[in-house]
Structure 1
Amino acid sequence: MHFTTEDLFNVTFASEPLPLVELAMALVACQRLDEQAVFGRWRGRAARELSGAGVRPLLELLRPDGDNPQFVEPYARTLEEGLAAVREAGSRLSPEELVRVAARAPGSASWLRALWRQDREAWDQLDGALRAAHEVLVAPYWSRIRQSFQADVAWRTRLLAAHGIKAALASTHPAAGWAGTAFEVDREPAYEVHLAGRGLLLMPSPFWTGRPLVAEGPAGPAGAYLLLYPALTPLPLVAPGPAEGALDALLGRTRAAVLQLLVQQRTTSELARDLDISLPSVSEHTRTLRAAGLITTRRDGKAVLHSATGLGVDLLHSGG
């Protein structure tokens, strides 16, 4: 992603999570296989609750890599506004996009072709699937989705103020970095985006677990691009009800405990023992903390040693 000087001054955060964007990410998360230590139990529960809910059409549109047709994830503040925007976008669907979506769909493309032909029954089916999936995956957890979103924005805003835009963006993924004024993520598929003065809107999602995704922004051709990235605290780690402290709200209780322990250097095994959690779970937590610049990890023979960075210690102090 190539930044102009103007773009570097025009990086902002979204003001709130958006229901249909989060729904799309939740449906994608259901199909992914990564981060099983965090999402595995949630995926099993979501699959059971979605069974028989009539959401199969959505799984033909929304695939695990997150490269989805944008019309089903509009930038609308409410569910009803979003559903209206999906219907409105139907008249602008192109044959080229049908070919791309149908090539990725598992099974027959007949429903997709009916959707593109503006068949009323197909669009009613899509509307019902969106409502049903929202009722299962988003509505019951909206306060936790907002908590994860707000905590991530608060953290990265502080990171931006203390260390600049390069550190804030590099912390969105372990494979992210910079080459001059180009922001790079070393993951397939490879493509380039030239912001060309349009700026960038940052949106964390507690459901998304992959590389940052780039999309056209909510204001149309003249608006900023949008960068959707994994929130520091994924939904399964956000405790129901109010958090006990600012650090728990940002990181989740277990991840905050990991960071607190790493004021003194510890191995992966020691963290698992002290917190009574599994080794894979420790690895998931340390990977995310490391990506955010809060801890460092080094290997000493067979042992893997972790310790908090200055930034991590500073966060502990500010969080009480």
Structure 2
Amino acid sequence: MLRIHCTPQDLLNVTVADHPAPLLELSLAFAALQRRDVPPEQGRWWKRSSRGLPRAAHPLLQLVSPQGAGPLFLDPPAEGFAEGLDTVLAAPRARVRAELRRVCGTGLPVTPWLRSLADLDRAAWKDLERALRTGHQHVIRPQWARLESAFRAETAWRSRVIAQQGLQAAITSLAPGTRWRALTLESPLPREAGITLRGKGIVLVPTFFWTGHLLAAPQPDGRLFLVHPAVTPLSLHPLGPADDPLVTLLGSTRARILGLLVHRHTTTDLARQLTMSISTASTQTKALRYAGLVDSRREGRAVWHWCTPLGLDLLVHAHRSAS
């Protein structure tokens, strides 16, 4: 059983992740590959996706726990693969050793290569870098456009659950058997684990490769990432923007902006993420605001934008129609 002891401040600081993390998905993909309890549809799709997995990626099968237990230095929540890889390669030695001890304590076999990683052997870390690059190229990159679209739909739906049904419903629906006992969140886990939070908050992070129990990933900054299976598996999501009814309704640019505005962004943020001018981003958000899909507010020199309830409903319903 997993028990997470929260403070009231942690519950006030519950948020939904604003982007998928490629290295987290890669790590959980290799965890799922080693499990036998993956649902049939997901399992068949995984076998097709992993067919011909290059040998250079095989070291990840030694390192990643099939229980989804980490190691946590391997899957930083960076938005880009290159940034995340740099974070992995710069992981402090003490954290690397502590995480390897922890995951080996959950049943991961201790191999000579893992010992070399713990000793910061240069050749072993070169193997790890090559494995991460190869795994990302073979498993994650071909699915990234679909995964980003699925992530936006999932987080829009989860945000809507929080708005309509409250935080309790949003969190207890993350995985079967999850429940609250006062300020303690309990969720089924193959082993006993307890985490005590200190008010830094909880981030709800959907994943599209993991289909098992709820995963708790404490972060160096004190926050807790609650990693949970997405409601709709990636294999059941539409293949791309051509299948997206929002593109037909709003056009591709406004559809992408609406998807991003599940979370608050400034006009400058939108322009940067969509590689457009600030004036173009402002014009597009203005059109969405007139349609009642987006709210905007100036704070100092920045203008912030976010989805209205109507905008969130449109995202969720369009995704269901496409599926």
Q: Distance in 1 between matches of 2:244 and 2:98?
A: 50
- 1:190 Cα shift? 2.3
Q: Which residue is equivalent to 2:47? A: 44
Pair 1:197–1:90, CA change in 2 (3 A): closer
Aligned partner (choices 13, 23, 26) of residue 23 of structure 1 = 26
For structure 2, the residue ranges without an aligned partner over 5 or more in a row are: 247-312, 319-323
Q: Are 2:8 and 1:5 equivalent residues in the alignment?
A: yes
1:198 aligns to what SS in structure 2?
coil
Q: Distance in 2 between matches of 1:173 and 1:84?
A: 32
Q: Distance in 1 between matches of 2:114 and 2:180?
A: 39
Q: Which residue is equivalent to 2:261? A: none
Q: Distance in 2 between matches of 1:38 and 1:145?
A: 17
How do 1:183-194 and structure 2 match up within 5 A? 183-194=185-196
Q: Distance in 2 between matches of 1:39 and 1:167?
A: 26
The answer to whether the Cα contact below 8 Å between 1:245 and 1:319 also exists between their aligned partners in 2 is no
Q: Distance in 2 between matches of 1:179 and 1:75?
A: 29
Q: Which residue is equivalent to 1:32? A: 35
How do 1:191-270 and structure 2 match up within 5 A? 191-217=193-219, 220-221=220-221, 223-242=222-241, 243-245=243-245
Aligned partner (choices 69, 72, 78) of residue 74 of structure 2 = 72
How do 1:113-128 and structure 2 match up within 5 A? 113-128=115-130
CA distances 1:142-178 after superposition (whole Å, capped 9, x unpaired):
1111122111110111110111100000111121122
For structure 1, the residue ranges without an aligned partner over 5 or more in a row are: 247-314
Q: Are 2:317 and 1:319 equivalent residues in the alignment?
A: yes
- 1:90 Cα shift? 5.2
- 1:95 Cα shift? 4.5
Pair 1:86–1:190, CA change in 2 (3 A): same
The answer to whether the Cα contact below 8 Å between 2:154 and 2:206 also exists between their aligned partners in 1 is yes
1:89 aligns to what SS in structure 2?
coil
Pair 1:183–1:47, CA change in 2 (3 A): same
- Bigger mean CA deviation after superposition, 175-184 or 120-129: 175-184
Q: Distance in 2 between matches of 1:319 and 1:94?
A: 43
Q: Distance in 2 between matches of 1:41 and 1:100?
A: 31
Aligned partner (choices 145, 156, 161) of residue 159 of structure 1 = 161
Q: Which residue is equivalent to 1:260? A: none
Pair 1:101–1:8, CA change in 2 (3 A): closer
Q: Distance in 2 between matches of 1:232 and 1:96?
A: 33
Q: Which residue is equivalent to 1:53? A: 55
Alignment identity in percent? Answer: 39
Q: Which residue is equivalent to 2:309? A: none
The answer to whether the Cα contact below 8 Å between 2:72 and 2:99 also exists between their aligned partners in 1 is no
- 1:10 Cα shift? 0.8
Pair 1:70–1:241, CA change in 2 (3 A): same
The aligned amino acid for 2:44 is R
The aligned amino acid for 1:68 is G
Q: Distance in 2 between matches of 1:199 and 1:100?
A: 23
The answer to whether the Cα contact below 8 Å between 1:28 and 1:62 also exists between their aligned partners in 2 is yes
2:175 aligns to what SS in structure 1?
coil
Q: Which residue is equivalent to 1:133? A: 135
- 1:102 Cα shift? 4.8
CA RMSD of aligned residues (A): 2.3
- 1:139 Cα shift? 0.4
TM-score by length of 2: 0.70
Q: Distance in 2 between matches of 1:214 and 1:30?
A: 20
- Bigger mean CA deviation after superposition, 112-121 or 12-21: 112-121
Q: Distance in 2 between matches of 1:124 and 1:32?
A: 27
2:78 aligns to what SS in structure 1?
coil
Q: Distance in 2 between matches of 1:197 and 1:147?
A: 31
